[in-house]
Amino acid sequence: MKNITKFKHKKVLVLGLAKSGVSAASLLHKLEAFVTVNDQKPLSANPEAQGLLQEGIKVICGSHPIELLDEGFQYVIKNPGIPYHNPLIKKAMEKNIPVLTEVELAYLISEAEMIGITGTNGKTTTTTLLFEMLKEDNQKPLIAGNIGTVASEVAQDAKEDEKMVVELSSFQLMGTQEFAPHIAIITNLYDAHLDYHGDLNEYWKAKSNITKNQTEKDYLIINGDQEHVQDTVSFTKAQVIRFSTEKEIEGGAYIKDRAIYFKDEKVVDLSSIVLPGAHNLENILCAVAACKIYGVSNDSIKKVLSTFGGVKHRTQFVREMNGIKFYNDSKATNSLATKSALKAFESPTILLAGGLDRGNEFDDLIPFLGNVKTLITFGETSEKFVKTGEKAGIQTIIPVDNVEKAVPVAYEHAREGDIVLLSPACASWDQYRTFEQRGDMFIEAVHKL
């Protein structure tokens, strides 16, 4: 890792723990910063904070006291989940204290080049595909960010001949100053996380931070089918490569004659791809474009695409039982992702949906519910989904308490040839810690049938 001096003997406040906060605090301690950690969870129930205390790091737990900022901190490293309207963060910004996230630390210390992937949907699938293709081609990739190990932890051991493939959220990108990946990818941009960002422009602006520091030597891969994505990155200095599922793109990645092309070169036939769903073609095009920049062989790309069946919790095939197929799409935390999942199947479908109520309605799903024979709802938005299902003319609509109870009810109403699809269109936090936990509960319930 690069032995940077930016934080040496500087007072740094790490706000919020979880995996990223623990990694950031330990790293800053190694970089000889004067670190204070502040986490809302009480110390007695906070093993992460206790561990940092044993490392000799100052820890304050139980609340976020605004008076902390009177101690003269020169940087704040913020957990991505803490919103910018948090009183302590607002006060830090008023005092012109830089508020960063741990991916900034990862970039500053990494000896390896970074490939950053962001967007509303498809980040995890694109990140995984790209990692697997680079690995198949012996290009020494490392995977980090939201998908795996915290980026600042991976970066500490990254070598110059390796490549860090990092999935990035808008929350993380808001807290960057110098961050500049060699290749930046924006899969797509839609309405999301407006409860955090306030409005769509702020959300798009956060995503665009992925390219704000790129130079002419870097690359930006963007969705050529979305005009507003191109508007958002109109200021980039990077070499722009577009991809499209709808038209041929000069100098980019596209589909022609039932095959994927990059810069007029045929890369792989669509018939070789096992990953289901038209929406995944966008993710594949992103990964192919980045791979071709690094000179990955078509054979390596084809080998991965002919074996890669999907990421856990992303339209993941779980099991077939008595001719009924079960799919786990717990990562579908917004309507757009659920639309994509529904479009991937033509068979009669039993849809399991519901979760955290962020104030939006779900009537935009109605045109995509044509194959849904039964709707099973749960969570805070259960009643909203019942109304949407009624408007869509779904004959059987059943509210239940949670995902675990939804599975046996779905099986009871399913027949041979049907699809049972968990695709909630909502975040999980009303009933589950994460979408992964929700998906795991679904998988467990399916295997108990």
State whether 76 and 114 are in the same domain.
no
Q: Is 194 left (phi over 0), alpha (psi -120 to 50) or beta?
A: alpha
122 vs 222: CA distance, rounded Å: 13
Q: Average pLDDT in the 210-228 region?
A: 94
Residue 37 lies in a domain: yes
Confidence of residue 148 (pLDDT cuts 50, 70, 90): confident
Which pLDDT belongs to residue 198?
57
Mean pLDDT of 187-193: 73
Question: How much is the average pLDDT of 340-358?
Answer: 94
**Proportion of the chain above pLDDT 90, given as a percent:** 81
Instruction: Render pLDDT for 126-144 as a digit per residue (tens, 0 to 9).
Output: 999 999 999 999 999 999 9
Pairing of strands 58-61, 34-39: parallel
Q: Is residue 136 located within the same domain as residue 282?
A: yes
CATH code (residue 240): 3.40.1190.10
Boundary-marking domain end, from 59, 75, 100 = 100
Domain co-membership, 343 together with 394: yes
Is the confidence at residue 323, as pLDDT, over 60?
A: yes
What's the DSSP call for residue 138? Answer: T
Please indicate, yes or no, whether residues 352 and 253 belong to a single structural domain of this protein.
Answer: no
Taking only the tens place, the pLDDT of each residue in 74-131 is 999 999 888 888 999 999 999 999 999 999 999 999 999 999 999 988 898 999 999 9
Higher pLDDT, 394 or 343: 394
**pTM across the whole model:** 0.78
- In sequence order, what are the residues at sequence separation of 6 or more whose Cβ sits closer than 8 angstroms to the Cβ of residue 328? 312, 313, 315, 316, 318, 422, 439, 442, 443, 446
pLDDT in tens, 258-278: 999 999 999 999 999 988 777
pLDDT band, very low/low/confident/very high, at 197 (cuts 50, 70, 90): very low
Confidence (pLDDT) at 192: 52
* Residue at 60 is within a domain: yes
Q: Tell me the residue range of the domain where 49 lies.
A: 11-100
- From 32, 67, 100, give the residue that closes a domain: 100
Q: Is residue 310 part of a domain?
A: no
Alpha-carbon distance 217 to 293, whole Å? 12
> Within a domain: residue 1?
no
Q: What is the CATH number of the domain that holds 68?
A: 3.40.50.720
Low-confidence winner among 272-281, 382-391, 414-423 (lowest mean pLDDT): 272-281
CATH number for 430: 3.90.190.20
pLDDT for residue 233 is more than 60: yes
Does 135 share its domain with 19?
A: no
Strand-pair category, 253-256 with 259-262: antiparallel
Domain count, the chain: 3
Domain assignment present for 2: no
Confidence at residue 18, expressed as pLDDT on a 0 to 100 scale: 85
Q: Which residue has the tokens 């210390």?
A: 109
The verdict on 276 and 369 lying in the same domain is no
Residue 194 reports pLDDT greater than 80:
no
Are 341 and 391 in the same domain? yes
- Do 353 and 430 lie in a common domain? yes
Q: Residues 401-415: pLDDT tens digits?
A: 999 999 999 999 999
Which residue do the tokens 């001949």 mark? 161
| Boundary of a domain, candidates 42, 65, 100 | 100
Indicate whether 12 pLDDT > 80: yes
**pLDDT confidence of residue 175:** 86
Whether residues 346 and 390 fall in one domain: yes
Task: For residue range 167-177, list pLDDT tens digits in order.
Answer: 998 889 988 99
Is the pLDDT at 232 greater than 90? The verdict is no
Question: Is residue 154 one of the residues assigned to a domain?
Answer: yes
H or E element that contains 171: helix 170-174
